[in-house]
C-alpha cells in the first residue's frame, strides 16, 4: 500500500493546513522542539504531577492529564501547569473523554471543581452520544481557541471502537468541520481521510519500548510501529516514562529516549515515497 500523503509532509508544512490555533501550536512546537512525544502524567498528587512535568517538559510537545485522578486538585495546580506549559513550550491535553449529551458536557467542560476549559488547550470526547457532544463542547472551547479530538479507536483489547464505529466517528468530525475538531485518538491514520484530503492530527496511546501490555488489557507498540508504520503524529506514553525506576534523572532520560525514537520514526517516514 502506498503511504498516506499526509505522512509524507513535514509537521512544519502542515501548520498552514489548520485554522484552529491549538492545532497550529501543536505542529509548531513539534517542529521547533523536534518532538512528537506526549507524556501522560497519570500520578495522583499535584506535587508528583508537576515534578514529572518539570522533568519531561523539554522533551515533549504535549502533557496529557487526567485531572480527576489528582487527589489534591486545585486551580493553583492548573495555573502552575499553564505556567510550565509556557516556560517549557508544550500544549496541555486533558484526557477527559467526555461522553454525554451536549448540555451536560458543556457544563463538565466549563464548570465543577476542574474548570477544564480554563486551562486545557486540548481535550477529547467519545462520539457515542452523537454530534451534539461536539456542539456542546465547541460552544465553550472554540471561543477560547481550544481544540477537541474524538476517540475513533482505542488501544485496549476488545474495544468496541472499530470498523463502522471508527468510520462514523470520522464522518462526525468531517461534518462538524475542522475549526474545533482537529483530529483523533486512533491506532493508525484513518484511511478514509484520503478522500477529503484534510489534515487530521492522529494521536496514539499504547506506546512502550519495554512492555507489550498490562494485566488490564492495555496493548503497547513501539514508536516505530506507531509513527512509521501506522502513520500517527503524536505518541502518548505514560508508565513507560513516569513509571521508570531510578529517580528524577531516569525519568528525564527515558523521555529523551522516547523523543528520539519518535522523531527518528518520523524522519524515516518522510523519506518513504
Q: Residue written as cell 482537529?
A: 182
Which of the stretches 44-52, 107-115, 151-159, 221-229 binds ligand S5P when contact is defined by CB under 6 A?
151-159
- Give the integer Cα–Cα distance in Å for 180 and 39: 23
Q: Does 183 bind ligand S5P (CB under 6 A)?
A: no
Scan residues 55-114 and list those touching ligand S5P (CB under 6 A).
66, 95
C-alpha cell at 214: 498490562
HSE of 116 in the Cβ direction (CA atoms, 13 Å)? 26
Minimum CB separation of residue 273 from ligand S5P in Å reads 31
Q: Respond yes or no: is residue 64 known to be catalytic.
A: no
Minimum CB separation of residue 210 from ligand S5P in Å reads 11
Based on CB atoms, which residue is closest to ligand S5P, 95 or 193? 95
Given the residues 86, 97, 167, 245, the one annotated as active site: 97
The answer to whether 232 and 226 have CB atoms below 8 angstroms apart is: yes
User: DSSP characters for 4-30?
Assistant: PGGGGS-HHHHGGG--SHHHHHHHHHH
Scan residues 32-61 and list those touching ligand S5P (CB under 6 A).
40, 42
Which of the stretches 48-56, 81-89, 149-157, 250-258 binds ligand S5P when contact is defined by CB under 6 A?
149-157
Minimum CB separation of residue 16 from ligand S5P in Å reads 27
Alpha-carbon dihedral of residues 107, 108, 112, 118, nearest 10 degrees?
-90
Based on CB atoms, which residue is closest to ligand S5P, 107 or 162? 162
Scan residues 231-270 and list those touching ligand S5P (CB under 6 A).
236-240
Point out the residue whose Cβ comes nearest to ligand S5P: 238
The SS3 of residue 155 is: coil
- Give the integer Cα–Cα distance in Å for 83 and 87: 6
DSSP state at residue 266: H
How far lies 139's CA from each of 32, 84, 103, 185, in Å? 31, 27, 10, 22
Based on CB atoms, which residue is closest to ligand S5P, 232 or 236? 236
Q: Which residue from 183, 206, 223, 262 is in contact with ligand S5P, where contact means CB under 6 A? A: 206
What does the binding site for ligand S5P look like in residue numbers (CB under 6 A)? 40, 42, 66, 95, 154-156, 185, 205-206, 218, 236-240
- The residues that are catalytic are 97
Amino acid at each position: 500500500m502506498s503511504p498516506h500523503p499526509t505522512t509524507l509532509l513535514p509537521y512544519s508544512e502542515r501548520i498552514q493546513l489548520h485554522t484552529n490555533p491549538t492545532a497550529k501550536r501543536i505542529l509548531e512546537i513539534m517542529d521547533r522542539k523536534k518532538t512528537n512525544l506526549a507524556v501522560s502524567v497519570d500520578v495522583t498528587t499535584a506535587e508528583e504531577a508537576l515534578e514529572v512535568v518539570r522533568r519531561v517538559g523539554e522533551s515533549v510537545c504535549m502533557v496529557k492529564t487526567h485531572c480527576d485522578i489528582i487527589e489534591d486538585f486545585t486551580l493553583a495546580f492548573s495555573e502552575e501547569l499553564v505556567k510550565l506549559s509556557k516556560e517549557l513550550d508544550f500544549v496541555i491535553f486533558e484526557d477527559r473523554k467526555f461522553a454525554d449529551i451536549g448540555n451536560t458536557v458543556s457544563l463538565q467542560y466549563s464548570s465543577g471543581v476542574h474548570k477544564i476549559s480554563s486551562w486545557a488547550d486540548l481535550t477529547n470526547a467519545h462520539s457515542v452520544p452523537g454530534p451534539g457532544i461536539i456542539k456542546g463542547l465547541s460552544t465553550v472551547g472554540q471561543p477560547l481557541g481550544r481544540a477537541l479530538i474524538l476517540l475513533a479507536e482505542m488501544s485496549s483489547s476488545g474495544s468496541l471502537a472499530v470498523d463502522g464505529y471508527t468510520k462514523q466517528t470520522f464522518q462526525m468530525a468531517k461534518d462538524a468541520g475542522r475549526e474545533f475538531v482537529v483530529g483523533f485518538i486512533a491506532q493508525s491514520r484513518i484511511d478514509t481521510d484520503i478522500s477529503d484530503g484534510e489534515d487530521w492530527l492522529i494521536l496514539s496511546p499504547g506506546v512502550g519500548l519495554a512492555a507489550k501490555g498490562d494485566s488490564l488489557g492495555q496493548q503497547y507498540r513501539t514508536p516505530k510501529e506507531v509513527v512509521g508504520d501506522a502513520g500517527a503524529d503524536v505518541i502518548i506514553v505514560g508508565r513507560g516514562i513516569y513509571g521508570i525506576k531510578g529517580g528524577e534523572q531516569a525519568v528525564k532520560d527515558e523521555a529523551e529516549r522516547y523523543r528520539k525514537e519518535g522523531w527518528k520514526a518520523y524522519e524515516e517516514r518522510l523519506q518513504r515515497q
